[in-house]
Each structure stands twice: as C-alpha cells, then as structure tokens.
Amino acid sequence: MNVSAEHLNHIYMPKTPLETHALRDISFDVPDGSVTAVIGRTGSGKSTLVQHLNGLLKPTTGQAEVGGHRIHPKMKRKEITALRKQVGMVFQYPEHQLFEETVEKDIMFGPLNLGYSREEVQQILPDLLEKVGLDDSLLPRSPFDLSGGQMRRTAIAGVLAMKPSLLILDEPTAGLDPEGQQNMMRLFENWHQKNGTTIIMITHQMEEAAVLADNVLVIENGMICMEGSPEEIYKREAELRELDLDLPERTKVLQRIEAQTGITFSSLSLSPEEAVEEMSRHQPGRKTDV
C-alpha cells in the first residue's frame, strides 16, 4: 500500500493560548511493501504524524493519502471507517487495548467488526498464534491472567488478524527487556517477509531501524529534517547526535572493523552473521569472530 503526505500541518488547540504547531509542512512518500522508520526524540511529532494515517487525527491543512484514501481536513466518518479497514495500528503498550473476557474473543473482535465471519477468523487463528508466539491453550483464558509479554502478543494478534495492508507500529518494544525487544522485532520482520505488508514504525532507537527499515524519516519540531535509506542517514552522525540520536551498535562495530581491516561492507546494517560471511569472502580460509 502506497502512503504519502503533501504539505501536512497539524495544530493542536488553534486560536487558544495553548496553540501548538505539531506538524509543519510534512511531505513524504512511502513505497508499497516497504518498511519506513519514523525517528525522533519525545515531542518531535512522530505520533501525531502516524495518527493521521488511520484517521485518528485530521490535518489542519494539507493532506495525506493511504492506498487511495485521501485524508483531509473535511474527511467524513464514512471515509475514516473505510480507511481503518486497511490500516492496523499497534499503539505503545498495546496490552492496554485488551478488554474482552477471553484471549480468543479479544483477537476476534477486530476482524468480526470488519465483517469477517467467525469461521473465517477461526481458520486463520492457528497460523496467527504461531506467528505471534502464543499457544492455543491460552484462547479460553482471560487476557488479564497472562504475563505482560503474552498480553502484548495477544493485542498484536488482534491487529494482525484484520489483515491490514498498512501496519503502523508506535514504539512496539516500549517497556520490554532486551530479549523481549529482539523477539518483538523478529515477529514483525517475519510478518513483513511473508506478507509484504507496508510498515511504518515509530521509534527513538536507531537499532530498531537498522533491523527492519528500508527508509528513515527523522522528525524534529514537527518537521522532516532528514530522509533517506538507513545508510544515508548513518553518514550524518554529527547531525543525529545534535538530535539526541545515536548510531546503532551494529553500525558502530562495522565502522570500526572497516577502519581496522580496510574491508568495505555492502551495508552498515548487516547482522553479525552477514558481516562474518562478507569478511570471510574478503579473507578466505581465515576464521573470523565478530
């Protein structure tokens, strides 16, 4: 699903003493099937931006387009409903979205409201549960009796069950320990590889962008101040530091290896395994540890 914005502006509480210009002349294009990371520090406008893409907010001026749906200041409720059938949004702490009596009911709530039959949803449940790392024995249990990680996976399963063409992730690893963060990112990476879903991910961690993103938008004071591939963004290290952003650890390690060995990696977003493989090609027969 293609996503774009043209001169998008959003003002909270206009014409009051608390008026805040949250988005300023935002324009961008997200290609179909890509993963775009929206990065910036707290208060930069990241969440305000993506809340336009499923109709939670309307622009003050300008417009956005999501898969043929035009998002504009005078958008009607009927248009918003049609848009939300194609856009799934995983909020920060998605476990706070849970409310049904059982895990099964919570996962099925969204797709049933979109018009899927109960039989259709039950057919996809086993595969969906496997993808999010949940056992079907949890289906009759209350979601509030689960662990924090299981609750989050239940909420995410409910979003994925709606088969969104655009998946928006708002800080999906917030509050998780390092292992939980890796597992969550692996879940979305596998989902994208299998389904080709367009993903827009809000994060303040460059490490997450390195794992998933094809494109990066860096936002500061409601404006896009950098845009490009992860490789292009990483070359602007000094500018990133001014925005309280840092390079991913994997990128720093690869840069040090390049400086020490003279090897030039194909990408500064390589996983350790990919980096070892490339180093082996440069130094055949030599055992390498990263």
Query: Are 166 and 197 within 8 A, CB to CB?
Result: yes
Q: What are the structural domains, with CATH classification, of the chain?
A: 3-239 (3.40.50.300), 248-283 (no CATH)
In this predicted structure, the answer to whether residue 245 has a pLDDT above a threshold of 80 is: yes
Per-position b or e across 137-162, b if 16+ CB within 10 A of its CB: ebbeeebeebeebbbbbbbbbbbbbb
User: What confidence category does residue 246 fall into, taking pLDDT thresholds of 50, 70 and 90?
Assistant: confident
If you average pLDDT over residues 194-198, what whole number do you get? 92
In this predicted structure, the answer to whether residue 288 has a pLDDT above a threshold of 80 is: no
C-alpha to C-alpha distance for 259 and 278, rounded to whole angstroms: 15
pLDDT of res. 283:
67
